[in-house]
Structure 1
């Protein structure tokens, strides 16, 4: 599976490109099919970043990512 840096992930934020990606626990997910991520924004969260540490404050659990395609892995640095 292809690996992406944090800088490459940041480019997939839904504003300049059609990709709307977020990372969670090292996996990068394509969120384009979600109506809740239109324009790369979901409440106070933005696409193009790692949401691993933010999930604890969400009203849902990690199973929300099960319905999205994994498009890559987040490089450690």
Structure 2
């Protein structure tokens, strides 16, 4: 199944505040992190949901493998 495409503006609405979904993007894929207790209220340490976190992963204490726990729900346009 082909994943739907979303704009950065559509992604930005999935921040846990404007819409109930909490999504983040990494390497062009959008992941649903709504169920993660670490993303409660759309914030994860100094990171906010609804954004592309590709550039910020180098600062994280974990690797990109963390995204394997979450379902990809779309691709970033």
TM-score (normalised: structure 2): 0.96
Matched, 1:32 2:34: yes
2:45 and 2:7 map into 1 onto residues whose CA distance is 24
1:50 and 1:29 map into 2 onto residues whose CA distance is 10
1:67 and 1:29 map into 2 onto residues whose CA distance is 9
In the TM superposition, structure 1's runs of 4+ consecutive aligned residues that sit over 3 Å from their partners are: none
After superposition, the CA RMSD in angstroms is: 0.5
Q: Which runs of 5+ in 1 are unaligned?
A: none
2:21 is matched with: 19
1:72 is matched with: 74
Q: Which runs of 5+ in 2 are unaligned?
A: none
